């Protein structure tokens, strides 16, 4: 009943939800259009005093050509923040999508069939969850590498056990409903029950928890970047900008504040969206 979920939920979500959604939408649009927007090259150091975009002295002096000024290497901060949002968003959504695909598929199988498969998978996820996520990510990053794809895979490896747990728990609950028992009694094949009955039921909670995972993934990438263990340096990321800003903190606080505000202004609304969706979901499940 996805339609019912949307209409009944739409009214319960409140205006804050739509404000948060617009902010996230704006960030996604800006990140997608970064190449088209009139921005200087994020990696171009404008250190030549003769050039029109000369920037080195403009540390902390925003002017028309550079709205937020430039960093210690003479690179435009605004441009770096906008291009940096790409890494955060790509890693945030892609890693959770992979984690959801893997964790969700295994979770629905474990939750429906139970037994040995379930016990085995549960032990495996417990092992994964015994590592603090950053420690696990740091260990994997040392042998996988630092490309964007590597980072996405690393965070997906860290994220899938949580999504597995959520989907497994939801499946166990729905598998005891009457219509599932009826389908079993009629002799439907398990693959059919999983696909046509359980999957649509599990999707809302899976999506909600996946959305709650996106900010966590973005923060995880930020932490790796901050420690210099994510995408290599010339590429701007919010994490490595915050790291650079915190070492140049006494020269100009904007180097730290600008990327910090950027990260906060994306993570807060998306956390809020996830939180609202979850409370609507909880209420809906409470009713049925």
Name the residues that contact another protein, by CB under 8 A. 123-124, 126-135, 138-143, 215, 219, 222-223, 226-229, 239, 242-243, 245-246, 249-250, 253, 256-257, 260, 263-264, 267-268, 271-272, 275
Residue 119: exposure state from Cβ atoms within 10 A (0-12, 13-18, ≥19): exposed
Give me 258's structure tokens. Answer: 């600008």
**Is residue 269 within 8 Å of residue 15, measured between CB atoms?**
no
CB nearer to another protein: pick between 177 and 278: 278
Residues 6+ apart with CB under 8 A from 258: 68, 77, 78, 81, 241, 245
Q: What gap in Å lies between CA 99 and CA 220, rounded to an integer?
A: 14
CB nearer to another protein: pick between 46 and 208: 208
CB nearer to another protein: pick between 97 and 138: 138
For the bound state, the minimum distance from the C-beta of residue 34 to another protein, rounded and expressed in Å, comes to: 22
For the bound state, the minimum distance from the C-beta of residue 257 to another protein, rounded and expressed in Å, comes to: 8
For the bound state, the minimum distance from the C-beta of residue 260 to another protein, rounded and expressed in Å, comes to: 5
Q: What gap in Å lies between CA 255 and CA 271, rounded to an integer?
A: 25
CB nearer to another protein: pick between 95 and 229: 229
For the bound state, the minimum distance from the C-beta of residue 229 to another protein, rounded and expressed in Å, comes to: 7
CB nearer to another protein: pick between 10 and 16: 16
**Is residue 204 within 8 Å of residue 229, measured between CB atoms?**
no
For the bound state, the minimum distance from the C-beta of residue 109 to another protein, rounded and expressed in Å, comes to: 21
Query: Can you spell out the DSSP letters for 72-102?
Result: TTS-BHHHHHHHHHHHHHHHHHHHHHHHHHH
Q: What torsion do the CA atoms of 10, 16, 22, 23 make, to the nearest 10 degrees?
A: -150
Q: What gap in Å lies between CA 258 and CA 110, rounded to an integer?
A: 45
Q: What gap in Å lies between CA 230 and CA 152, rounded to an integer?
A: 10
CB nearer to another protein: pick between 111 and 274: 274
Give me 149's structure tokens. Answer: 């794809």
Task: Please report, for the chain, how many H helices and E strands are present, in that order.
Answer: 11, 0
For the bound state, the minimum distance from the C-beta of residue 207 to another protein, rounded and expressed in Å, comes to: 20
CB nearer to another protein: pick between 39 and 224: 224
For the bound state, the minimum distance from the C-beta of residue 227 to another protein, rounded and expressed in Å, comes to: 6
CB nearer to another protein: pick between 151 and 183: 151
Cα–Cα distances (Å) from 214 to 87, 97, 104, 211, 273, in that order, read 13, 9, 15, 5, 11
For the bound state, the minimum distance from the C-beta of residue 282 to another protein, rounded and expressed in Å, comes to: 12
């Amino acid at each position: 009943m996805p339609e019912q979920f949307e209409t009944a939920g739409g009214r319960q979500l409140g205006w804050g939800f739509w404000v948060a959604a617009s902010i996230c939408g704006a960030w996604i649009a800006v990140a997608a259009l970064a190449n088209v927007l009139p921005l200087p090259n994020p990696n171009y150091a404008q250190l030549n005093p003769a050039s029109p975009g000369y920037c080195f002295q403009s540390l902390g002096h925003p002017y028309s050509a550079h709205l937020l000024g430039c960093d210690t290497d003479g690179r435009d901060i605004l441009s770096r923040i906008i291009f940096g949002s790409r890494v955060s968003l790509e890693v945030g959504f892609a890693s959770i999508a992979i984690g959801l695909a893997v964790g969700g598929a295994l979770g629905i199988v474990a939750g429906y069939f139970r037994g040995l498969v379930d016990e085995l998978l549960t032990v495996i996820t417990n092992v994964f969850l015994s590592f603090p996520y950053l420690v696990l990510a740091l260990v994997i990053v040392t042998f996988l590498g630092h490309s964007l794809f590597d980072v996405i895979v690393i965070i997906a490896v860290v994220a899938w056990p949580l999504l597995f747990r959520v989907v497994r728990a939801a499946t166990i609950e729905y598998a005891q409903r009457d219509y599932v028992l009826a389908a079993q009694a009629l002799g439907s094949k398990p693959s059919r029950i999983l696909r046509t009955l359980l999957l649509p039921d599990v999707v809302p909670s899976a999506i909600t928890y996946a959305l709650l995972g996106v900010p966590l993934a973005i923060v995880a990438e930020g932490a790796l970047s901050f420690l210099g263990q994510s995408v290599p340096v010339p590429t701007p990321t919010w994490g490595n900008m915050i790291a650079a800003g915190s070492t140049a903190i006494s020269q100009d606080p904007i180097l730290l504040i600008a990327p910090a505000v950027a990260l906060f202004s994306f993570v807060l609304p998306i956390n809020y969206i996830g939180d609202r969706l979850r409370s609507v979901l909880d209420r809906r499940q409470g009713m049925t």
